[in-house]
Amino acid sequence: MGQPEADIDLKRIFKKAHDFTKADEVKKMGLYPYFKPLQATDGNTVQIEGREVIMAGSNNYLGLTNDPRTIEAAKNVLDLYGTGCTGSRYLNGTLDLHLELEDKLATFMRKDSCVLFSTGYQTNEGSIQTIAGRNDIIFSDRDNHACIVVGTQVSNAKTIRYRHNDMENLRMQLEKADPEAGKIIVTDGVFSMSGVIAKIPELVSLAKEFNAGLYLDDAHAIGVIGEGGRGSASVFNLLDEVDLVSGTFSKSFASLGGFLVGDREVIEFIRHHSPAHIFSASMPPANVATVLKALEILQSEPWRMQRLEEISNYMREELRNLGFNVWSSQTPIIPVVIGDMFDCFKFWKELFEEGVYSNAVVPPAVPQGQALLRTSYMATHTDEQLDRILSAFRKVGLKHGIIDKNGRSLLNTD
């Protein structure tokens, strides 16, 4: 006896899942680079599959995830507050710690007000969809992070995606737009795959000319670049000219969560209207305490950012000297272009076997033929570790014909 027609139709919803075989195919080849469980870590190195490798793919930019002070700060609040809030900030989930962190972040970022979110992803998704409504237009860089893209998709606003970091294309789109519509330009401050800084001066100028808001996602910028670690706009002394700046706690701040800073009225509107804020459980107390301590360390130990800049410049220059294509990286995010997806997986595996962990990034996250290994660096990496990373890249790059012994690229990714 056959299944009822309704049951057959219902199960068709899962056809796409059963048809997805690519991950299993890569696993059978022994090249699968994702969801690797870390068995232990001290920040700079990690234990994976029973072996110790240098971590060259973390966003732990200041090296604070294993700092004794951040760990102690997290431990100290557990007895007082417990492990979680079991509710949203809107209702029973606001602690005095949340308010303290919002106040300190607003002061640090030199903005009127701050609102916390439970993740960095929710920060952008929840803020963009709230501030941009039915009669508004969002102008979004084509290389923006997925959380920005989702924020534009769930918003009732019209979204126009301009060519990556192309200010002439953005100008053209602004000129064509309805002059009476509310407008906001949204962009990563530092692009997470390339390590390139957005063209903040031009963005500020266009926002002023067309009476548009300007929103920067500085997840990979705050605590990394700019005056005192205040992010991409502060690199150009233009923080006062940016309306909204978002950040995350899962990178420089060694925790989990996110925040948005801006004018008090705008932040209060988002605080009271964003579904991602109202309907999500609030940041656990240990996470908040970790961020408070990390913010304190960022401000009291400027050597961390100085060291991070030195490391970034060194690795970028040396990888280029070896012959690798690192695009136009300007930050601790340094991509190493491999080209073909399966070549990238093979390179990743052999680099891992040489004792270096990086991140394999393949289409659609990057253009076809531009599969890459995303490397990123920490203030706490030692010189010896950096040179071991370079030695491993050179060995594997020569073996796979990506570079030659004279420091020339053999890769054609046009």
The closest of 294, 399, 396, 414 to 349, measured between CA atoms, is 396
Q: Are 341 and 371 in contact (CB under 8 A)?
A: yes
Burial class (CB in 10 A: 0-12, 13-18, 19+), 336: buried
Catalytic residue list contains 18: no
Is position 251 annotated as part of the catalytic site? yes
Among 98, 111, 183, 220, which one carries the catalytic annotation?
A: 220
Contact between residue 64 and residue 288 where contact means Cβ atoms under 8 Å apart:
no
Alpha-carbon separation of residue 9 from 4, 5, 12 (angstroms): 9, 6, 5
Residue 75 C-beta-side C-alpha neighbours within 13 Å: 7
- Torsion of Cα atoms, 109 then 285 then 332 then 168, to 10°: -50
Q: Which of 58, 140, 155, 192 is catalytic?
A: 192
Q: Which amino acid is at 120?
A: G
Q: Exactly one of 98, 145, 183, 251 is catalytic; which is it? A: 251
Q: What is the dihedral of CA 348, 351, 352, 353, to 10 degrees?
A: 130
**Is 220 part of the annotated catalytic residue set?**
yes
As a dihedral over the C-alpha atoms of residue 200, residue 203, residue 205, residue 206, rounded to 10 degrees, the angle is 180
User: Minimal CA–CA distance to 145: which of 242, 248, 239?
Assistant: 248
Active site residues: 192, 220, 251
